Amino acid sequence: MNRRDFLKIGGSAAIATGMGGLATIPADARPASDGPGLTVKFLGTGAAGKRRSDHPEDRRHSSVLLDNRIVIDFTPSSEDMLPEGFSPEALFFTHSHGDHYNPAAAVRLKPRAIYLGETWIQRAIGEIYSSAAIQKLPAPQILPLRVGDRINFGDISLTAVPANHATNDIHEQTLMYLIEKGDVRVLYATDTGGIPSVAGRIAIIDPHVKQGKALTGLIMESTMGLDYDEDFRIFAHSSTATVLRTVHMLTKYGRYTPPEGQPVYITHMSRSLHDTPVDKNWPDIIKPAHDGLEVVFRAPV
Ligand SMILES: [Zn+2]
Ligand SMILES: [Zn+2]
């Protein structure tokens, strides 16, 4: 399936199956509830790659701020997105790639605690402590996460789920996060090639499990644009076509039930693989996030 096939389809009701036909998303979308939503501010929405000083449109590295309290992934590229002196309750890292994790920026952010995968915590402790010493700043508390661990912060919880991704350390298990607040259940899925089955089990979106609450929101990486399914990154990253197919499947099995009108937000877009940074022709169910975008995710009634 090429980009043109997607664009021809358009509209919010139908997306391509990739098998040459169309699939209709069931029209069971419900209005958003009045309950407290989860506010997600995108501090950065780009993939690895240096921002060019003469290109203000270049995206910062992917990072989000949840309810003005919790940050997922953080590099120096997003430091200007936070007010002076702001410190989150917690900083979570998905993995140790330099476009997500930066020891110096982590120390300067002064989070009350840093959470990251237990599989690489010894390396991180060494790097973060030595950066704290060099910068003459306090070393933050660093806590390990195992796959399936759920950490509660009052009305918000984050659960570590495995990603399909790799770093140079083959023993590092990279992570994504299921963010829950009341009936809002948002999966923050980067970096990953599709959704691994164990992640599907933990987030209860595997159609085999089919019990409990479905996802109500999805933020998924699209390192590649619509055209790039055959890019070598497919083993470790997703294309917009992968996101569409994932949404279609989850919707078909009732495992993704967003409130009416809420799109899937894509992030971690590669400058070299998206030919138009904010393409006006995206299918309606997909919205490319941009740096500084603030979204309130609500549960359906
Ligand atoms: Zn990345
Ligand atoms: Zn990565």
Express each pLDDT in 56-113 by its tens digit.
Answer: 889 999 999 999 999 999 999 999 999 999 999 999 999 999 999 999 999 999 999 9
Ligand 2 centre from 96 Cα, in Å?
A: 7
Distance 97 CA to ligand 2 centre (A): 5
Cis peptide before 275 (omega within 30 of 0): no
pLDDT score of 88: 98
For residue 211, the CA-to-ligand 1 centroid distance in Å is: 32
pLDDT (0 to 100) of residue 129? 98
Q: What is the pTM of this model?
A: 0.91
- Exposed, middle or buried, 56 (CB in 10 Å: 0-12/13-18/19+)? exposed
CB 193 within 8 A of CB 268: no
Answer whether 39's CB lies under 8 Å from 77's CB: no
Mean pLDDT, rounded, for 273-284: 64
Among all ligands shown, which has an atom nearest to the Cα of 169?
2
| Structure confidence by residue, pLDDT tens digits, 187-217 | 999 999 999 999 999 999 888 876 789 999 9
The reported pLDDT for the residue numbered 18 is: 43
Shortest-distance ligand to the CA of residue 221: 1
Q: What is the CATH number of domain 3-297?
A: 3.60.15.10
Contacts 24+ apart (CB under 8 A), 136-142: 137/107, 137/108, 137/110, 138/110, 139/107, 140/91, 140/106, 140/107, 140/110, 140/111, 140/112, 140/113, 140/114, 141/112, 141/113, 141/114, 142/113, 142/114, 142/115, 142/116
The tens digit of pLDDT for each residue in 109-156 reads 999 999 999 999 999 999 999 999 999 999 999 999 999 999 999 999
pLDDT of residue 7: 37
Average per-residue pLDDT for the chain: 88
Q: What single DSSP character describes residue 90?
A: E
